[in-house]
Structure 1
């Protein structure tokens, strides 16, 4: 399970770096700061899954969850969302070192 969480963390980190790189290239090209919202990035990659997730969240969970939390999340920059996801996956999959140390009997 920890391996899958660390793999998901690595994948989210790679996507965050790619999204940040794209935003920085667009910022240099337009001579102003460009941060692509998560909804726009998701719409560019896979619009069918975005609409399916939106409809399932508003139907199965609660319409207010969709209205407040999901909409707020979709307005955040894509690189920041994936960086936070990467950190959360890494923290869940983190293995604490033994307290006694390596050379205990």
Structure 2
């Protein structure tokens, strides 16, 4: 317990976690440029991220379970409205279809 407290781990309710995440996103901490969302299985991490993505106008939520990096990149590019061009995020099969 002392170890978790020393690292700054805090047990939060879903509402307080949501409010703290929103506050951090509004004004990120200069010394901690990344916000870690951690917890046991079933603790609400995915629900928190889904809720944040619904509340934030420019947020994109992608469930990465079972996806390869190329699949994730394609989904993000599609969400961002970018045209997909041949690049490292395409599989070799997709690249050959585009070029040949």
TM-score, structure 1 normalization: 0.20
> Which has the larger helix fraction?
1
Q: Larger relative CO (CA 8 A, sep 6+): 1 or 2?
A: 1
